[in-house]
Amino acid sequence: MDRRSLAGVALFVVNLLYGINYVVAKGLMPVVIGPSGFILLRVLGAAVLFWGVWCFRRQRMAWSDAPRLLLCAVSGVAVNQLMFFHGLMRTSPVHASIIMVATPILVLVLSGVLLGERITWLKAGGVALGAAGAVVLIAARSSGGVEATKLGDLFILINATSYAVFLVMVKPLMVKYDAVTVMAWCFLIGSVIVVPFGLGDLGAVQWAALTGVQWGGLAFVVLMVTFMAYLLNTWALRHVHPSVAGTFIYLQPVLALIATWVMTGALGIGVPQVLAAACVFTGVYLVGRADRIKGEG
């Protein structure tokens, strides 16, 4: 299997983890831990893990890359995490998923403007097809009785925008450095930014009262949804364009639906869901194919 194919597998795993995270994180906030405290725990935990791995590699970064690195830390860690968790707590998973559909579109546009990535008809068509499938799939699902607020929706939109900026801006760094080095610095800087926001929530957690399931949920978010997902995502960006990584976000509603079924046993699949899922997977394939054709050309 070549590197581009491996990158596709990595991006699939990343979005599978993010799909599961919609269910896990929603169940932990705010009953177990407040959103800001959850973010601080997540960022600090990932920073420790990344720096632990970096100690065995010790790759240095040039000072000339500091401004881009700072932007990546702010957009990909601090703003991204703060806005997502605060938004998810204040809106429904359905609204959050719908708004996140904007991310691949933003990535496609920003990649063309900032990196000069060529936007082909095949790639644009894949993004549009994936967006249509994601919207149909999400619209067919119930919000589960969770009230959505405009503030929560706004936070998710800011999150989607910041993540799009991160995917585009981190690409040049991944050409020069390995994923562990870039993420170690991003999470170190990001942890400094989120500390003032999360100390209160983190200090209010009743650690002794947590159940095994709750401990497992916290560990899953730190180890898998943060450390492993960011590591795989940034590694994949060494081998594919940001627009490809962004389009894989369309898989999240599909994978979240499957995760809900596996974890709760509740799932209703009909013709709309099947057709929507087919559109999503086809759209992701077309964008990946367009990127591969460009790489071979």
Structural Rg of the chain based on CA atoms: 18
Confidence of residue 297 (pLDDT cuts 50, 70, 90): very low
Cα→Cα distances 56→53, 244, 280, Å: 6, 31, 39
Containing domain of residue 9, as a range? 3-296
Query: How many structural domains are present in the chain?
Result: 1
- The stretch 156-165 carries a mean pLDDT of 89
Give the whole-angstrom CA distance, residue 209 versus residue 290.
51
**Taking a C-beta distance cutoff of 8 angstroms, is the pair 72, 171 a contact?**
no
154: phi then psi, degrees, rounded to nearest 5: -65, -40
Predicted TM-score (pTM) of this structure: 0.81
3-state helix, strand, coil split of the chain in percent (to 5) is: 80, 0, 20
* Nearest Cα to Cα of residue 244 among 80, 114, 111: 111
Give the whole-angstrom CA distance, residue 63 versus residue 219.
34
Give the position of tokens 């067919």. Answer: 140
Note the pLDDT tens digit of each residue in 197-248.
999 999 999 999 999 999 999 999 999 999 999 999 999 998 888 888 888 8
Note the pLDDT tens digit of each residue in 100-147.
777 787 788 888 877 777 778 777 887 788 777 767 766 665 544 455
Q: What is the DSSP letter of 267?
A: -
**Taking a C-beta distance cutoff of 8 angstroms, is the pair 33, 153 a contact?**
no
Q: DSSP letters along 86-115, please? A: HHHHHS-HHHHHHHHTHHHHHHHHHHHHHS
Q: What is residue 160's three-state secondary structure?
A: helix
* Nearest Cα to Cα of residue 57 among 185, 147, 160, 165: 185
pLDDT recorded at residue 128? 81
Note the pLDDT tens digit of each residue in 75-99.
999 999 899 888 877 877 666 766 7
Give the whole-angstrom CA distance, residue 78 versus residue 190.
5
- The stretch 172-192 carries a mean pLDDT of 94
**Taking a C-beta distance cutoff of 8 angstroms, is the pair 69, 61 a contact?**
yes
Q: What is residue 211's three-state secondary structure?
A: coil
- The stretch 67-76 carries a mean pLDDT of 96
**Taking a C-beta distance cutoff of 8 angstroms, is the pair 245, 233 a contact?**
yes
pLDDT recorded at residue 118? 76
